[in-house]
Every structure is written in C-alpha cells, then in structure tokens.
C-alpha cells in the first residue's frame, strides 16, 4: 500500500504497510541513512527526526500517523558543502566519537532551538533526556548545543517590533 510522505520539502510515495515505522521508510525506502536504528524501542534517540518541527522517535512512529505533516531528517539541515548552523556547531566542536547518536542529537537540537533559541543548560538537559550517547561525549555535545544556539540566533535574528 502506498503512502505519501513529505520529507525534507519533497513529496514522495512509499510503498509500505501503514504500520511500517517511519525510520524504516526513511532508511529502506527513501535511502535517507541519517536517522539511525539504535534500540528500536523509543529509548535511545538515535532515530530522532522532526515532524512539523517537533522531535519524534521515528522507530516507534508508524507512517500511518504522519499524514500531511512535514518530516525532516538530518539530511534536510544542510549539505557537506553548506552545513546548517546545528551541523556547523557539531563539526566545530568535534562533538562526536563514533558518531552514531549524532544525527539524532542534531535533530533534537534543531527542535529545541526552533522552540527556544536561547536555552539554559537545565533546559538543554531536560530536552535531551531521550537522547543517549554510548561513547560518553556528553560534555562536547553540550558545548556543541550551546554553540549551535549562538549560530542559530545569528542565522535567525529576532525581528524587532
Ligand atoms: S532507535 Fe528509536 S529511540 Fe532508539
Ligand atoms: S558519539 Fe558514539 S554514540 Fe554518541
């Protein structure tokens, strides 16, 4: 059965059962390997993507519930040649070790900054409860999130009045 998904700004048809996890559709049907399979149980955050700007765990989200809402993956945040603010910050701070958790961390960062461009540390920690890093690079990830917030505010200045 075909489902139409809007992913990174483009509408695309996925020939998969309605209960198929969004993560599988993104990776297996659309070739978007940014979102990662970690636990498959909604417990690690490696599969985090955005749905209408909100962070969602795509391993436990069936494609049938997406409807016309916009899905964004780390591939939609920028390119190798022109990385977006969040990607630039993670590269600049070398926040990754193995890198497996990082696409999910970046998407969680993007969701947080769209909602709150100037987060306090306790707000960052609260937002990242669902995203784990088995390599233990949490301190560098924290620095990257703070740097991402600076770059994000530079790229999206608040309009006065
Ligand atoms: S793979 Fe989705 S939360 Fe772990
Ligand atoms: S950098 Fe390896 S899991 Fe986070």
H/E segment holding residue 3: strand 2-7
Burial category of 54 from C-beta neighbours within 10 Å (exposed 0-12, middle 13-18, buried 19 and up): exposed
H/E segment holding residue 161: none
Distance 42 CA to ligand 1 centre (A): 4
H/E segment holding residue 57: strand 54-57
For the chain, domain boundaries: 2-76, 85-155
Give me the CATH code for the 2-76 domain, please: 3.10.20.30
Which protein residues are within 6 Å of ligand 1, measured from CB? 37-40, 42-47, 57, 59
Distance 110 CA to ligand 1 centre (A): 18
- Does residue 95 contact residue 131 with C-beta atoms inside 8 Å? no
Distance between CA atoms of residues 62 and 56, nearest Å: 11
- Does residue 90 contact residue 127 with C-beta atoms inside 8 Å? no
Distance 97 CA to ligand 2 centre (A): 5
- pTM equals 0.96
Specify the CATH superfamily of domain 85-155. Answer: [2Fe-2S]-binding domain (1.10.150.120)
| Per-residue pLDDT of the chain in tens (161 residues, 90 and over written 9) | 899 999 999 999 999 999 999 999 999 999 999 999 999 999 999 999 999 999 999 999 999 999 999 999 999 999 999 999 999 999 999 999 999 999 999 999 999 999 999 999 999 999 999 999 999 999 999 999 999 999 999 988 877 76
Ligand 2 neighbourhood includes 101 CB (under 6 angstroms): yes
């Amino acid at each position: 059965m075909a489902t139409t998904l809007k992913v990174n700004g483009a509408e695309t048809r996925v020939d998969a059962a309605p209960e198929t996890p969004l993560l599988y559709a993104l990776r297996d049907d659309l070739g978007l390997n940014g979102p990662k399979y970690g636990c498959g149980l909604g417990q690690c955050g490696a599969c985090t993507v955005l749905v209408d700007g909100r962070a969602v765990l795509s391993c436990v989200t069936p494609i049938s519930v997406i409807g016309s809402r916009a899905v964004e993956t780390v591939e939609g945040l920028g390119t190798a040649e022109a990385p977006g603010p969040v990607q630039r910050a993670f590269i600049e701070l070398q926040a990754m070790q193995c890198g497996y958790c990082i696409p999910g961390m970046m998407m969680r960062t993007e969701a947080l900054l769209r909602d709150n461009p100037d987060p306090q540390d306790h707000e960052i920690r609260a937002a990242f409860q669902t995203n784990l890093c088995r390599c233990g690079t949490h301190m560098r990830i924290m620095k990257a999130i703070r740097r991402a917030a600076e770059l994000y505010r530079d790229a999206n200045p608040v309009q006065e009045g």
